[in-house]
């Protein structure tokens, strides 16, 4: 069974620092392990441009 997971990063302002860096590291780590999740990231405008690796790994809204 595959689980659909939504990550709400709408509160995360791109370029601010600590919170964004932590969450990006978590998402990168998640991409390196076997799991049954379909991850969708809900982020503010500009997030995909600032984090292209995340945008390539996950569907970013």
Domain boundaries, the chain: 3-60
Structure tokens at 8: 């709400």
Residue 21: CB atoms within 10 A of its CB come to 11
Sign (positive or negative) of CA dihedral 10, 14, 19, 24: positive
pLDDT at position 14: 75
DSSP-assigned letter for residue 33? S
pTM: 0.85
pLDDT at 15: 76
Residue 20 tokens, joined = 């964004």
Q: How big is the chain, counted in residues? A: 61
Q: pLDDT tens digits, the chain, 61 residues: what are they?
A: 899 999 999 998 877 778 889 999 999 999 999 989 999 999 999 999 999 999 999 999 9
């Amino acid at each position: 069974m595959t689980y659909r997971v939504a990550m709400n990063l709408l509160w995360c302002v791109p370029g601010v620092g600590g919170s964004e860096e932590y969450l990006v590291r978590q998402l990168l780590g998640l991409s390196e392990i076997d799991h049954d999740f379909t991850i969708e990231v809900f982020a503010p405008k500009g997030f995909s441009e600032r984090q292209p690796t995340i945008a390539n790994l996950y569907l970013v809204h």
